[in-house]
Amino acid sequence: MQHKTDKHKEHYLALKHPCRKETRQAYQNYLADILNINNTPDHEYSNNRPNTKKLYSLLKHAKQDSTGIDSLKKNNKMHTSDGDKVTALIEQFQSVFTSKSPISLKSLAEMKIQDNADTGRETPMKSLVITTPCLTLNSPLMVSKNS
């Protein structure tokens, strides 16, 4: 026995395709009418110029304005001015990308430790041991909750 929801779903899916097809066709007819490229007998004797009022209205409503970046929060401080937002984004991306290219995981860890020391950030006292097939690294880094 089929549930009511299954019957409703089948009914919906049976109506969905023709409805979408009709909607697309109506929109195409609307655009053709605005641009006056409709070849129906109703429009045979009308002037061959597009309906500029409807065209400009369509373009105005189709336009999507970019409002820019919303206010950003960094280090528990809200940045609302464009300059502050730019600075916050630059700092964020500089922390992700580095101009230095480490040769190995060990040198990357050493670079991170040196960067933390240069910026005055505290490094945790625990050691993180990373073991890969090529190397074992034992350095004071940020420790995950699992350790």
Strands (E) in the chain, as ranges, are 72-74, 77-79, 128-131, 136-139
Task: For tokens 């880094």, name the residue.
Answer: 141
Tokens of 4: 């009511």
What is the pLDDT, as a whole number, of residue 19? 95
What is the pLDDT, as a whole number, of residue 38? 64
Q: How many CB atoms lie within 10 A of CB 34?
A: 19
pLDDT tens, position by position, 45-87: 556 677 788 888 888 888 776 677 788 888 888 888 888 888 8
What is the pLDDT, as a whole number, of residue 143? 41
- DSSP H or E stretch at residue 35: helix 4-35
What is the pLDDT, as a whole number, of residue 146? 43
Cβ atoms of residues 138 and 127 within 8 Å: yes
What is the pLDDT, as a whole number, of residue 147? 40
Residue spans of the chain under pLDDT 70: 1-2, 38-48, 65-66, 97-102, 122-147
